[in-house]
Amino acid sequence: MSEAPSNYPPPTALILVAVLPSPRDLEIARVLGWYRIPLKSAPKVVAVDYLAFYQTAAFNPDERWRINYIAPVYGHELTWRRELLRDEPNHPRANEEYYKVQIGPLQRLPQPIRADTWRRLTFLYTTGERLCWARRLQDLALEGEERALVWRSLRERATLDHTYNVGTLPETLNDLDTIMLEFLGLLKSL
């Protein structure tokens, strides 16, 4: 493989593919520099190097069902939804906890990563190397030893970040629950 273009993350970067449910969420990320994840449905570890944004059916036909943007992650904190979206104080989830992930500038990928058969996605961990060469969402799924290596890296980051209860994170892939296995691209049901 030749060297990746400079606007891609380094090959060893840990990347979380996250859903952008609406164009408004893209604008929040672009203008305000943050992305929100409900705590109750968040992946076990959000301490990653980059977010890659999967755009849903809510986007224009030429922008939906693909990853067009990535952004470096600067940090994260727990807060209430009502604090993040002050213009929605009566939202049904206003009093729920969310991760506020602080991000850097959005970077448009030179070539989008399209969803062929996978259209429904919550979160998916991948690497900078996979992101660089992926053409389809399925290309981001981790395989074999790479999957185990990424899990060890995520677990190590969780150990260093006191936001997580590392005791709830299994040591090996064999002990992971079904949802976490999906995040690592292990299950074929994606």
- Tens digit of pLDDT per residue, the chain (190 long)? 455 556 789 999 999 999 999 999 999 999 999 999 999 999 888 999 999 999 999 999 999 999 999 999 999 999 999 999 999 999 999 999 999 999 999 999 999 999 987 667 789 999 999 999 999 999 999 988 888 888 888 888 877 765 555 455 556 655 555 555 555 554 444 4
Provide the pLDDT for residue 173: 56
Tell me if the pTM is above 0.75: yes
Virtual torsion, Cα 38, 71, 152, 148, nearest 10 deg = 100
Q: How far is Cα 157 from Cα 168, in angstroms, rounded to an integer?
A: 14
Exposure of 80 by Cβ count < 10 A (0-12 exposed, 13-18 middle, 19+ buried)? middle
b/e per residue, 109-135, with b = 16+ CB within 10 A?
beebbbbeebeebbbbbbbbbbbbebe
Domain boundary assignment for the chain: 14-183
Q: Is domain 14-183 given the CATH code 3.40.50.300 in the classification?
A: no
CB 78 within 8 A of CB 96: no
